[in-house]
């Protein structure tokens, strides 16, 4: 691989006695090799040589060298400092005949990290090819950004090419060598509030510059997926090409000074910041961590929003929960609808289709960032009962991939277009891990393009536990929403996501309201 001419596949600098592979004492060059080994061992025993490596001191110890690098780049650790590091490369056959070349590092005693990186890289490769119909090529490359103490970071570079051209994406993952936990970049921050503070510091630096769009720069983990530090300990946030500004503008980065970002960091973030500013001459993980148990749930990762989270308890009848749902979008007016929901502190669910997601990616990200639920309404909106099972699978899979590429979120719910479903559709939904969500209040807003009528129907037919069907692609519906929210608020309703209303749902099962109901055409459990 071009980027690591020196470090890869090298004989470890400091061979450990049991694993001194590659060194054969019978070798004719034994004498000179023995001298070399002796020198290496001197360096290695002295290699405790770097007291700050295990401690938490921010200032370089006398025996260590300060890191160097560009101000607006994450630090890079030369792999020669990591004995035994090897590159793994796999090729994956993706949809559309695209062959992807995926490379990632394998570090001794860091198997949970290597495995997690491999898993993430493969998922993202398949998401790219499945979401982009004219995918042409895909590759993943890597750098080690930090390796010191019990912290490591690997920065991935994904190059993807489709009909719109070639784009480069980056994501950086952090690893705790003691716990075995692989962290998302946003876990460098102490919590959601700190991510939002960082977000506003980044906005101050980027907005109105180089075509950066405020709507696309959202405080979510998928957007802030490559965070690290430069050699001074300043935080560097880098964004994918085309993600927050037009692709032609290249890679967008923001640098937040070390002192400003320090109060926002988690303990991992503090250790990472201290580790980034110093070169560790030799980084070895002494003992492998066992694979982390369970890991962090999405709810505790800043910038990830599980749709069932929140204060409200819909089992309590006094909550008067109701789920407003909007299909077929997002549309050009959906941001206005989001403004109205925000004003009322109301949550809703958006059953999105393929074309609109491609057309309004910023709105998809904003919807997710504001705590609403995204759910699957197929790519092309067909009657799923009239197509083959493989077609149903494609319809649902593609939207999953599209939404995951924008938000990092894997959807739990789907709604069959026209409410048309049967046993085959239920089977596919079950395999995909998605419950089928229908409705019990229909506003017929697609037929009656009159905000007053839509608002009356929604409010008059609503009951606690209702799932209300509307479409955010119609201007009359968007116009009706502020009044609907006002009137439901007055009646004491709490507007929640479908997942908040239903709690845990069963994949494949059909739901039409707050209480799950058995329906005659639900599939009976197979014997
Ligand atoms: Ni629809």
Query: What backbone phi and psi angles, to 5 degrees, belong to 104?
Result: -155, 160
Summarised one tens digit per residue, pLDDT across range 244-261 is 998 888 889 999 999 999
Q: Distance from the CA of 366 to the center of ligand 1, in angstroms?
A: 21
Measured CA to CA in angstroms, residue 63 lies from 57, 152, 186, 286, 334 at distances of 13, 20, 32, 21, 58
Q: Do residues 432 and 392 make contact, with C-beta atoms less than 8 angstroms apart?
A: no
Q: Residue 291 — pLDDT band, cuts 50, 70, 90? A: low
Instruction: Give the distance (Å) from ligand 1 centre to CA of residue 70.
Output: 50
Residue 360, both tokens: 């309004």
Q: Residue 51, Cβ neighbours under 10 Å: how many?
A: 12
Single out the catalytic residue among 162, 234, 327, 394: 327
Query: Which tokens hold the place of 377?
Result: 């309404």
Residue 110's nearest CA partner among 287, 317, 324 is 287
For residue range 413-427, what is the model confidence (pLDDT) as tens digits? Answer: 999 999 999 999 999
CA distance 114 to 110: 6
Q: State yes or no: pLDDT of 510 exceeds 70.
A: yes
Catalytic residue status for 143: no
Average pLDDT over residues 345-357: 97
Q: What is the mean pLDDT of residues 236-245?
A: 93
The contacts of residue 118 (CB under 8 Å, 6+ apart) are: 88, 90, 102, 104
Please tell me the least confidently modeled range out of 75-84, 199-208, 242-251, 499-508.
242-251
In contact, 428 and 450? CB cutoff 8 Å: no
Instruction: Look at residues 287, 234, 238, 237 and name the one whose alpha carbon lies nearest to residue 261.
Output: 234
What are the residues facing 153 on neighbouring strands?
A: 146, 174
Looking at residue 61, what DSSP letter applies?
Answer: P
Cβ neighbours of residue 88 closer than 8 Å, sequence gap 6 or more: 103, 104, 105, 106, 114, 118
Mean pLDDT (whole number) for 376-382 = 98
Find the 451 Cα to ligand 1 centroid distance in Å: 19
Question: Confidence class of residue 24 from pLDDT cuts 50, 70 and 90?
Answer: very low
Q: Is the pLDDT of residue 57 over 60?
A: no
CB 176 within 8 A of CB 151: yes
Mean predicted lDDT score pLDDT of the chain: 86
Which tokens is 161 given? 């090419």
How far, in Å, CA of 348 to CA of 398, rounded?
23
- Mean pLDDT over 53-71 rounds to 63
Q: How far is the CA of 74 from the centre of ligand 1 (A)?
A: 44
The pLDDT of 141-154, averaged and rounded, is: 97
Which string of DSSP letters, residue by residue, matches 193-246? Answer: HHHHHHHHHHHHHHTTSTT--TTT--SSTTTT--EEE-TTS-EEEEE-TTTSS-
pLDDT at 4 over 60: no
Cα(417) to ligand 1 centroid in Å equals: 5
Strand partners, 101: 91, 139
Q: Note whether 105 and 87 are within 8 A (CB).
A: yes
Contact 251, 95 (CB under 8 A): no
C-alpha to C-alpha distances, 154 to 110, 168, 293, 303, nearest whole angstrom: 12, 16, 21, 20
Task: Kindly report the pTM of this predicted structure.
Answer: 0.85
- Catalytic, out of 81, 471, 472, 474: 471
User: What is the distance in A from the centroid of ligand 1 to the CA of 328?
Assistant: 5
Contact 169, 241 (CB under 8 A): yes
Weakest mean pLDDT among 78-92, 302-316, 423-437: 302-316
Q: Could you give the CA distance from residue 514 to residue 292 in angstroms, rounded to a whole number?
A: 36
Q: 11 Cβ partners below 8 Å, 6+ apart?
A: 22, 23
Residues with Cβ within 8 Å of 126's Cβ and at least 6 positions away in sequence, in order, are 92, 94, 95, 401
Q: Give the pLDDT score at 297.
A: 63
Model confidence at 22: pLDDT above 80: no
**Torsion over CA: 494, 496, 502, 508 (sign):** positive
| Distance of CA 458 from the midpoint of ligand 1 (Å) | 17
Checking 394-401 for CB contacts under 8 A at 24+ apart, the result is 396/428, 396/429, 396/432, 396/434, 397/130, 397/432, 398/130, 398/131, 398/354, 399/352, 399/353, 399/354, 399/357, 400/376, 400/432, 401/126, 401/127, 401/128, 401/130, 401/131
**How sure is the predictor about 296, in pLDDT bands with cuts at 50, 70 and 90?**
low
Residue 259, classed as helix, strand or coil, is helix
> Do 403 and 364 meet the contact criterion of CB atoms below 8 Å apart?
yes
| Tokens of residue 374, six digits | 């995204």
Active site residue 234: no
CA–centroid distance, residue 378 to ligand 1 (Å): 9
As a whole number of Å, the CA-based R_g of the chain is: 26
- Rounded to 5°, the CA angle 315-316-318 comes to 140
């Amino acid at each position: 691989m071009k980027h690591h001419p020196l470090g890869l596949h090298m004989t470890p600098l400091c061979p450990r006695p049991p694993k001194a592979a590659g060194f054969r004492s019978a070798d004719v060059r034994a004498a000179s090799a023995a001298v070399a080994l002796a020198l290496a061992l001197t360096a290695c025993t002295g290699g405790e040589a770097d007291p700050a490596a295990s401690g938490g001191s921010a200032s370089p110890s006398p025996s260590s060298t300060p890191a160097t690098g560009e101000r607006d780049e994450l630090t890079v650790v030369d792999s020669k400092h990591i004995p035994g590091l090897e590159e793994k490369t796999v090729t994956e056959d993706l949809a559309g005949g695209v062959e992807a070349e995926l490379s990632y590092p394998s570090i001794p005693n860091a198997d949970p990290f290597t495995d997690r990186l491999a898993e993430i890289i493969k998922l993202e490769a398949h998401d790219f090819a499945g979401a982009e119909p004219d995918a042409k090529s895909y590759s993943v490359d890597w750098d080690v950004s930090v390796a010191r103490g019990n912290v490591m970071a690997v920065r991935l570079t994904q190059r993807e090419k489709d009909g719109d051209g070639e784009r480069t994406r980056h994501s950086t993952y952090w690893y705790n060598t003691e716990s075995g936990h692989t962290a998302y970049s946003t876990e460098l921050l102490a919590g959601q509030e700190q991510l939002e503070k960082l977000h506003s510091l980044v906005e101050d630096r980027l907005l109105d510059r180089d075509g950066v769009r405020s709507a696309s720069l959202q405080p979510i983990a998928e957007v802030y997926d490559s965070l690290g530090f430069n050699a001074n300990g300043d935080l560097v946030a880098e964004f994918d090409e085309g993600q927050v500004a037009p692709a032609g503008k290249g890679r967008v980065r923001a640098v937040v000074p070390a002192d400003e970002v320090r109060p926002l960091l988690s303990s991992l973030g503090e250790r990472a910041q201290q580790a980034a500013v110093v070169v560790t001459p030799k980084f070895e993980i002494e003992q492998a961590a066992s694979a982390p148990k369970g890991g962090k749930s999405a709810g505790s990762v800043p910038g990830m929003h599980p749709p069932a989270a929140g204060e409200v308890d819909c089992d309590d009848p006094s909550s008067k929960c109701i789920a407003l749902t909007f299909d077929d979008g997002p549309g050009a007016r959906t941001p206005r609808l989001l403004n109205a929901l925000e004003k009322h502190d109301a949550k809703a669910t958006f059953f999105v289709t393929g074309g609109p997601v491609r057309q309004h990616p910023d709105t998809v990200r904003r919807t997710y960032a504001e705590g609403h639920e995204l759910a699957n309404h197929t790519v092309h909106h067909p009657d799923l009962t009239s197509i083959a099972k493989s077609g149903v699978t494609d319809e649902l899979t593609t939207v999953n991939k599209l939404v995951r590429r924008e938000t990092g979120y894997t959807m739990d719910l789907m709604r069959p277009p026209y409410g048309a479903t049967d046993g085959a559709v239920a089977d596919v939904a079950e395999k995909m891990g998605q419950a089928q969500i229908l409705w019990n209040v229909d506003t017929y807003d697609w037929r009656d393009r009159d905000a007053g009528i839509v608002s009356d129907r929604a409010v008059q037919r609503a009951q606690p536990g209702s799932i209300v069907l509307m479409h955010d692609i119609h201007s009359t519906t968007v116009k009706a929403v502020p009044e609907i929210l006002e009137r439901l608020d007055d009646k004491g309703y709490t507007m929640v996501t479908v997942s908040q209303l239903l709690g845990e749902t069963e994949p494949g099962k059909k739901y039409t309201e707050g209480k799950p109901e058995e329906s005659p055409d639900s599939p009976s459990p197979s014997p």
